[in-house]
Structure 1
Amino acid sequence: MTFTQAKTIADLVRSDFPILAQEIHEKPLIYFDNAATSQKPQAVLNALLNYYEKDNANVHRGAHSLSIRATEGYEGARNKVAKFINAAHREEIIYTRNASEAINLVAYSWGLSNLNRGDEIILSVMEHHSNIVPWQIIAQKTGAVIKYVQLTEIEEFDLEQYKSLLSNKTKLVAVVHVSNTLGCINPIENIIELAHQFGAKVLVDACQSVPHMAIDVQQINCDWLVASGHKMCGPTGIGFLYGKKEILTAMPPFLGGGEMISEVYFDHSTYGELPHKFEAGTPAIGEAIALGAAVDYLTAIGMEKIHAYEEELTTYLFKKLVEIPQLRIYGATSKLDGKNRAALAAFNVQGIHASDLSTLLDHEGVAIRSGHHCTQPLHRLFDASGSARASLYFYNTRAEIDDFIIALKDTIDFFSGMMA
């Protein structure tokens, strides 16, 4: 795939996504809900169909050709994911259903085995529920204490306050790389380095970063990292946990059953080697293979190119949004150069419920998200029950942003006229 200055990435790839060609309420679809889930290119759809049409068999257990091909595709996808995030070893990639399951795996396996009364867990107030609730459960079971990093005045991660929370009691820092509500890109390398100075482990929620920028787990030196396939052009029902090999080896199994065993006796069992120790039962084989196809697709474009293009989209989106005086945009709006923030914007309009705004925009063919985006505690800090959120990906265009802004202004005017 070759890119020229004359054409954007979106110009070259949009035809790869059949869903984007449809109309909604007789208007061309503008899909701005990518933080919730991304669309799938034809190559990913083909990979999923090919598995079920030609290779459908269980993995690791059969000597026949279908099982061999299924296993090769399944394990080959693991190799692709490992290379994609630059893991040192392929067995450091554990397939999960999604990032939520990956976090729970770490919480129940490592957390229950390593956290004790008085130990401290540091989260941030911008965390997704999936990176709060498991740790609340583990804290209740172990007596560990949760502390939260607050926001700066411009609604970003407060690094100085984070430093003040760190101590020899800190055993775990679990933090989002890119906020799905504020859009800020957190200084993850600095966060990890500071935590390691106190001997703490660090888990990174990379759901909103892995699909949008190059991630090198060895460079950032995280202990665990989680991501969901469906946000990175892959299918639903598949995600992954990255963990340093020595840490995963020391962790006990999370789920028990077929595939994760070595030997089973009536009175005890022994467990398989990594990565299989954490993959109980028949896995999502077709979905894993399709995730591998998604990695191939993103790699062919180039994550650096994707990130650079999205920075341009972000700059353009926010320049348009800040011109609308009725909007309360969450996250730093002082940074309009597209740097250090993702291509998403969560906002509210005074007097208009976010779900009403989203519903009327849908009638203009614009798909955005409304609700709390699984960040209820953060919204409570803003005294908001929810917000509207527009989130972009590399197949979106400036022209779509223009149409979205027109539709948004018209919708605001419509409600203003009703209330007049």
Structure 2
Amino acid sequence: MPIFQSATYGYSGDGNEELIGYTRPADSPNHFALARIIATLEGTEGAVVLSSGMAAISSTLLTLLRPGEHLLIQHATYGGTNELVHAELLSLGIEHTAVDPADPASWEAAIRPNTKVFYVESISNPLIGVADLEAVAAFSKQRGLTPVVDNTFATPVLLTPARLGFIVIHSATKYLNGHSDIMAGAVAGPADFIAMVREKMVVYGGVLDPHACWLLQRGLATLALRVRQQTASALALAQFMEQHPQVEAVNYPGLPSSKFHGLAQTLFGGFGGGVLSFEVKGGSSTADALLKALELPLIAPSLGGVESLITIPSATSHAALGVEGRKAAGISESLIRLSVGIEGTEDLLADFAQAFKTIANGSANNSTLAQLKVS
């Protein structure tokens, strides 16, 4: 597909001037082609691509909610989503109640007569929990709610939530593109709903440019290959971490020991995705030392790219929550999140092994030095 790098189009005089005139409504050939691919992957009637994942989330929620209405939202959502709901939507008179997406028994008490939307993430960040999507879909249908899911972490390779009735959102910056070189978002769902999201996008200006559309379409060609490699390596690393004496805890639904393993089997065929998080013994200083000792993963935010990325959420994605907010969400100051890339699995395992050995030796040296100073 060529790149139609035009902001505006001249009239041809053939009576079809309304088809393509100006790029802000996302109606270039690149936008149309990309939207068709994403709709096909998710199994929906339509899709629209936007300038970022947050543009996709905000346009969707502003389409579904009006002042005076209420939504259920899972606790500990992505930091940008949390800020949107707690600040921007509240300022518009749209209220919310946070619920546990894996505890259906708790939802009834949270619902109100003006509740309109149930918003969840298929795999949560950074504790890698799994929402009970089948229960969310059934509850939403029973109570007349619109279920919305951020499917960024799972991707349509592992899960297609539209078959359960969900509106599907992606930060396409992540896995769908996969190369860490664009910002993009996507929404997939019924054609009439997508038309309304497009109107919001046009008004708020969240359009993706044609060149980024082309890059995202190129990235989608290798989506399944990348996700399979990333998922296989993530499982191997999670198993390695689970047995390592320097690791306090591992969060990964592909592990049988995870409380989310049953949901992962049902929804993802037993796979756990390409992201895991873990806590090392020794607190935040040890976590910092581990990141510095690694050679392959880049210390950087974001996820889903071909390169492994590692970060401490308390200092990046969830810094805005504050210490107390993170504590309430179960996010420790020493929690490490790893987005696994497509590097060789054995290379990644070897790198983590040497990094753990390095910090262990460093701790031993520091201990010896302290003893010498005391003596």
Q: Which has the higher contact order (CA 8 A, sep 6+)?
A: 1
| 8 Å CA contact 2:31, 2:210 repeated in 1 | yes
Question: Could you say if the C-alpha distance between residues 279 and 245 of structure 1 is closer, same or farther in structure 2, counting changes exceeding 3 Å?
Answer: farther
Q: TM-score, normalised by structure 2?
A: 0.73
Residue 278 of structure 2 is aligned to residue 347 of structure 1: yes
Distance 2:7 2:199 in 1: 22
| 8 Å CA contact 1:173, 1:200 repeated in 2 | yes
The Cα of 1:222 is off from its aligned counterpart by 1.0
Aligned-pair identity (%): 12
Distance 1:57 1:251 in 2: 23
SS at match of 2:90: helix
| One of 183, 187, 201 as aligned partner of 2:128 | 183
| 8 Å CA contact 2:152, 2:172 repeated in 1 | yes
1:147 equivalent in structure 2: 97
2:223 equivalent in structure 1: 298
Distance 2:220 2:8 in 1: 21
SS at match of 1:190: helix
Stretches of structure 2 lacking an aligned partner (at least 5 in a row): 14-19, 22-26, 265-269, 299-309, 368-375
The Cα of 1:167 is off from its aligned counterpart by 4.8
The Cα of 1:385 is off from its aligned counterpart by 2.8
| One of 377, 399, 404 as aligned partner of 2:346 | 399
Q: What per-residue deviation string (whole Å, max 9, x for no partner) do you get for residues 302-351 of structure 1?
A: x9xx45x5554343222210122332335366139883633322123223
| 8 Å CA contact 1:329, 1:345 repeated in 2 | no
Q: TM-score, normalised by structure 1?
A: 0.66
What are the within-5 Å matches in structure 2 for residues 20-419 of structure 1?
Answer: 51=3, 56-58=5-7, 61=10, 71-89=28-46, 93-111=47-65, 114-116=66-68, 119-150=69-100, 157-210=102-155, 212-215=157-160, 217=162, 219-232=163-176, 233=178, 235-249=181-195, 253-254=199-200, 260=202, 280=205, 283-298=208-223, 301=225, 306-307=227-228, 311-331=231-251, 334-335=257-258, 339=270, 341-349=272-280, 350-353=282-285, 354-361=287-294, 364-367=295-298, 368-372=310-314, 374-376=317-319, 377=321, 379-381=326-328, 382=330, 384-393=332-341, 395-419=342-366
Question: Could you say if the C-alpha distance between residues 211 and 416 of structure 1 is closer, same or farther in structure 2, counting changes exceeding 3 Å?
Answer: farther
The Cα of 1:221 is off from its aligned counterpart by 0.9
SS at match of 1:335: coil
The Cα of 1:101 is off from its aligned counterpart by 1.2
Root-mean-square deviation (CA), in Å? Answer: 3.4
Stretches of structure 1 lacking an aligned partner (at least 5 in a row): 1-46, 152-156, 261-277
| 8 Å CA contact 1:110, 1:251 repeated in 2 | no
The Cα of 1:210 is off from its aligned counterpart by 1.6
The Cα of 1:245 is off from its aligned counterpart by 2.9
Distance 2:284 2:88 in 1: 39
